Chains A and B, each alone.
Chain A
Amino acid sequence: MKTSTLAKSAFLSISRNKTRSFLTMLGVVIGVLSVILLTSIGNGLTVFVEQQFKELGSNLLIVTPGEIVNSDGGFDQQGAALSFATSKLTIDDSNDLTRAGYPITMAVPLTGSNGEARTSQGKRSGMVVGTTPGYSEVRNTKAAKGRFISESDLAGNRKVVVIGSKIADKLFVGQNPVGQLMTINKLRFEVIGVAESKSAGSFGGPDIDSFMYVPITTAKIVFGIDKVMEIMVQSATKEQLPRTKTLIQTTLGKHLDSKDFAVTDQSEILKTIQTILGVLTTGLAGIAAISLVVGGIGIMNIMLVAVSERTKEIGLRKALGATPNNILIQFLIESAVISTVGGLIGIILGVLGALALTPFFPATPAVSSIILAFVVSLGTGIVFGVYPAKKAAALSPIEALRYE
């Protein structure tokens, strides 16, 4: 007896009572829906964090003063004040690192202070960042308009500034800021460029789009800032990161005590965050999977009820020539189809839910989760359908036909 004919029989049985079939699969729908949604959130967070790290430069080691390590390697506005006050790093240290050779390709120092920007259109607070031309490459930050700081700006201590997109939006409405004048802490600066917008600031990170980049030499002379907050060191390749770290430590160790500076490997931080998110995602999925088990139990219960209600039908089928195996396979297919269809609906709803959530919260469905959810829902139907199917197959035709 062909499985396809039995499958057709199973489908007919399911469509005979669509309401019950739907209610039966509801448990699986909800279970799969929650698994997909929760793993999408976990996956979305991971992707988001990875994207953040990528946007802010790769193969980077961050040298910070003292033992204060920033969680994402960027400016921490609250820690800045304390680090600043006690920092023993100088621009000379940065130059030493640049000259240290392979595998260091570049070292970029950063100084910073709060500043107030003003134009005829209004005023806005932001971080004034003193840095060198290398910042643009090391931090993957290009000028969306105009240009970034150049070597001659640096040499000439010019009062030029590259403003963040938020400063541009607020203080230069309807104009191209490039070439315009603005004041920072009451001193006149010329805008030479607008930095491209970065998403890193959008989710708990520092407000990068409100930064104002000036040459580090200008920052020292004009604002009196000369304590270096951070030196970003670029490694030639990912594999050379450990060697680069050692080189930094030996180079700085010539002038500084080891407790005066800390070297942080961004990729290690990323790995830690990825691991944490991975565990979180798995944990969430595990919890959601429990509802899947409940859904499976629901299927088993309804199938048992169905077997009881269809006792006469089973007796009839047996009288007409169905073997116990025919009955077993028919009912197994029925429960497998119900749970698989439920799984598909759950997957579709889960993916739609993740897409609806995306504007507010990172949620990216992973293909592996979808395939796993599909396989598990199919398996659930089979596993939880076995017991009722066996009961059905074992019915004696005469007693079944007599059943009222």
Chain B
Amino acid sequence: MSTPKSKSSAKVVLSLSHITKVYELGDQTLEILKDISLEICAGELVAIVGPSGSGKSTLMHIMGLLDQQTGGTVKLESHDASSLTEVEAARLRNKYIGFIFQQFNLLSRTSALENVLLPTIYNEGAVGKEAYAKKILTDLGLGDRLGNYPNQLSGGQQQRVAIARALINDPAVIFADEPTGNLDSKSGHEVVEILKKLNAEGRTIVIVTHDLELAKMAHRTIKIFDGQVVSDTTK
């Protein structure tokens, strides 16, 4: 249970203004995103849905500072993220953004604990996060699997490690790209419940998916089609 927050009173964490993304392929010009503007506020649970090729992945990459837009501006927390160097983008990602991927993307032959701590090695001045990492993993039900390698964990457990990794630097916003795509329905439901619980604790979460069932868990759904926002509804 969570009350939808009104946009006017909540803090804006991420804002996109007139974003376009154009790819040059030889002599062809592909417009992936055509003028998108939106705002994500603190504490929101947003689903971005659309079919394959709609540009939702590209949109997520731009929101997550993994890719640079062709036109328009991006603002993250108080930082103008419109034109960043690779180094600046990396620093902002490390500090403010947590990622959860469809394919988990854990380091093999590395313990769950070490995987969760991975973002901290790129965080200047990060010290003593080990206790916090253990706490997050325990809260997610993996307290007795801290030393396990990914090949010793089930899909659901691996995704939970990935979620813990996304939380370790206390990000301003968490992006989940098809988080249940590689999971069976039971594990998938578990992950959904975890994301809901995190949101109830105040985390800002953006889920990108083409699964409309998954989208139903969110309070706000943004529909993308052909590089444009076709609807933006809040329950």
Write the residues of chain A forming the contact surface with B, with a CB cutoff of 8 angstroms: 1, 5-6, 9, 12, 16-17, 312-313, 316-326, 397-398, 401
Contact = CB atoms under 8 A, between A and B. Distances in A.
Interface stretch (B9-17, B101-109, B216-224): B101-109
Contact of B99 (A6, A319, A323): A319
Interface residues of B, number: 27
Contacts of A9: 121
B87 A320 contact: no
B160 interface: no
Q: Is the interface of A mostly helix, strand, loop or mixed?
A: helix
Contacts of B123: 1, 321
B54 interface: no
6 contacts: A1-B124, A316-B105, A316-B107, A319-B64, A320-B93, A321-B119
A45 B119 CA distance: 57
Given A16-B110, A398-B67, A401-B105, A318 B121 contact: no
B87 A1 contact: no
Given A323-B86, A326-B122, A398 B105 contact: no
A12 B114 contact: yes
Contacts of B165: 320
Contact of A320 (B61, B108, B119): B119
Nearest to B108: A16
A316 B94 CA distance: 12
Nearest first, the 6 closest Cβ-Cβ pairs linking A and B are: A321-B94, A321-B122, A16-B109, A320-B119, A323-B90, A323-B87
Contacts of A313: 107
Contacts, number: 58
Contacts of B99: 319-320
A157 to B, nearest CB: 89
B86 A324 contact: yes
Contacts of A318: 90
A320 B118 contact: yes
Interface string B122-161: 1110000000000000000000000000000000000000
B22 interface: no
A1 B66 contact: no
A325 B95 CA distance: 18
A359 B122 CA distance: 55
Contact of B87 (A5, A6, A12, A325): A325
Contacts of B94: 320-321
A321 B87 CA distance: 9
Contacts of A324: 86-87
B90 A321 contact: yes
Contact of A6 (B67, B109, B110, B121): B121
Contacts of B66: 319, 397-398
